[in-house]
Amino acid sequence: VGQNLSIGQGCDYKAIIEHEILHALGFYHEQSRTDRDDYVNIWWDEILPGFEHNFNTYDDTFITDLNTPYDYESLMHYEPFSFNKNDSAPTITA
């Protein structure tokens, strides 16, 4: 028994492939932690319409951070300009 992992066009970077494999293994985005607002700001007005869901937090009953520190450098953390409307305005900042 296995799980197929489809890598689409534009996913040709090692970090993106590693990120998607971690999703397949059950990892969630670092910025989706319930405590993320203690560490980063989400600039909702700068997010492309229809992509806001990528910045939602998950309920503690759904995921756990296993009491690990917030990891800004995690492969599972979005870059500052992810899903941005304006190339000069970030969507997520520390």
Which residues are part of the catalytic machinery? Answer: 20
> Tokens at residue 81, please?
């300009």
d(CA 67, CA 34): 12
Where would I find the beta strands (DSSP E) of 1-72? 41-42
Sequence spans of domains, the chain? 30-93
Whether residue 23 is annotated as binding a ligand: the answer is yes
Whether residue 77 is annotated as binding a ligand: the answer is no
Q: Which tens digits make up the pLDDT trace of 70-93?
A: 999 999 999 999 999 999 999 999
Q: What is the pTM of this model?
A: 0.83
Whether residue 29 is annotated as binding a ligand: the answer is yes
Half-sphere exposure of 32 (CA within 13 A, CB side): 16
Average pLDDT over residues 53-64: 86
